[in-house]
Amino acid sequence: MVEVTETLSIGQVAERTGLSVHTLRFYEQEGIFVSPVRRGSTGRRLYSQDDVDWLTVCVILRASGMPLPALRRYTELVREGAGNEEERLALMREHHGRVTEQIGRLTQSLDLITFKVGVYEDLLDEARPAVAPGRQDQWAGDGAA
Amino acid sequence: MVEVTETLSIGQVAERTGLSVHTLRFYEQEGIFVSPVRRGSTGRRLYSQDDVDWLTVCVILRASGMPLPALRRYTELVREGAGNEEERLALMREHHGRVTEQIGRLTQSLDLITFKVGVYEDLLDEARPAVAPGRQDQWAGDGAA
DNA sequence: GTAGGAGCTGGAGTCGGCTCTAGGTCAACC
DNA sequence: GGTTGACCTAGAGCCGACTCCAGCTCCTAC
């Protein structure tokens, strides 16, 4: 196994992570990197595959709604190395709970939305075969769930 | 059936919808009411049960991530009355799709989070029976999903 | 009659998370 | 050797969705 340790430019990292170069610099400023981003001779940032891997995790955590401060805290814990696994676990568990709740809320909301879609579909299906419309029941407009 | 049509103060509506009084005034400004909010003799807002019902729907739509402009558009359509059900259906279908996607993304993210929780749990379980720690594998810290 | 609390208005402020600008350096190609 | 184009910094700006403020009017209760 050869350790290639290829270095990537900020543009390449942006491409592979889906983050913008702006965001990458911003994240760096926010302490969202486990180890300091290296620089080339001319001051340009050099990223490693590890950085990309870490960012990939970050993207998923952010996509699931983890706020930057929590992400920064998690990064700090990882940076500090072994010995703080309890706190990492607590952090992840809390996030897990929040995401689970959020999925629950969205699923519930989806019920109403599905219902509304059904109402309008029925309404339009009925209207199309030349049945007199004017069926303005409470659900179609603004009924509660 | 007696039509009671009790009127509610902004504070009462805030209480029943979970929205703040600030937000209620803000939503009014933003056009998120189907019919203009009535006012009492001294200029205070008077809400009806219909208003509360509508707001309840709005809260659910907002909770599922519908942006205010879309919510405003939907409100406009309902305000205009029957005849625009196609557009309402389109709007709801689009939102349905987005919420479904979002649930999908969150569910996927949850996989990683669940995995991470598992990793830390295992790590701590192993460490507790006085086994030498120092097991710093790539997953525990920053491994990719 | 006065103190407290709820409500009013218009407009400013906040927060999270980017996103962009200005003014530069540097490397590479034509 | 000139022109792209990617990159650099510090700092400003933006967006969505509230949230709060100042300064006022009412109503109710003591």
How many angstroms separate the CA atoms of B28 and B31, rounded?
5
Average pLDDT, chain B: 88
If contacts are CB pairs under 8 Å, which of residues 49-68 in chain A contact chain B?
50, 53-54, 56-57, 60-61, 63-65
Distance set, CA A25 to CA A11, A28, A31, A34, B133 (Å): 11, 5, 10, 14, 35
Give the span between the Cα atoms of A74 and A58, in whole angstroms: 10
Mean pLDDT of the region A57-69: 97
CB B70 within 8 A of CB B92: no
- Answer yes or no: is pLDDT of B27 > 80: yes
CB spacing of A96 vs B110 below 8 angstroms: yes
Burial of A54 (0-12, 13-18, 19+ CB in 10 A): buried
| Alpha carbons B66 and B75: distance in angstroms, whole number | 12
The kind and range of the H/E element at A57 are helix A49-63
Mean pLDDT, to the nearest integer, of B107-123?
A: 96
- The residue type found at A74 is Y
In the predicted model, what is the mean pLDDT of residues A117-142? Answer: 67
Q: Are B141 and A78 in contact (CB under 8 A)?
A: yes
Subunit contact B110:A103, Cβ cutoff 8 A: yes
DSSP reduced 3-state for B47: strand
Chain D bases closer than 7 angstroms to a protein Cβ: 6-9, 16-21, 25-27
Torsion sign across C-alpha atoms A54, A56, A61, A66: positive
- Protein-to-nucleotide distance from the CA of A22 to the C1' of C20, whole angstroms: 9
What amino acid occupies position B41? S
Both tokens assigned to A17: 């992570």
Question: Are the beta carbons of A99 and B106 separated by less than 8 Å?
Answer: yes
Instruction: Band the pLDDT of A41: cuts 50, 70, 90.
Output: confident
Name the average pLDDT for chain A.
88
Q: What is the reported pLDDT for A5?
A: 66
Nearest Cα of chain B lies from the Cα of A3 at a distance, in angstroms, of: 15
Higher pLDDT pick, A92 / A41:
A92
B25 CB near a chain A CB, below 8 Å?
no
Report the alpha-carbon distance of residue A111 to residue B90 in Å, rounded.
17
pLDDT value of residue B63: 97
Any A CB within 8 A of B96 CB? yes
Nearest one of A63, A69, A93 to B107, comparing CA atoms: A63
The C-alpha R_g of chain B, in whole angstroms, comes to 24
B117 with A89: Cβ contact below 8 A: yes
A107-121 confidence digits (pLDDT tens): 999 999 999 999 999
As a whole number of angstroms, the distance between CA A106 and CA A113 comes to 10
pLDDT band at A4 (very low <50, low <70, confident <90, very high): low
**DSSP string of A77-122?**
HHHH-TT-HHHHHHHHHHHHHHHHHHHHHHHHHHHHHHHHHHHHHH
Does residue B129 surpass a pLDDT of 90? no
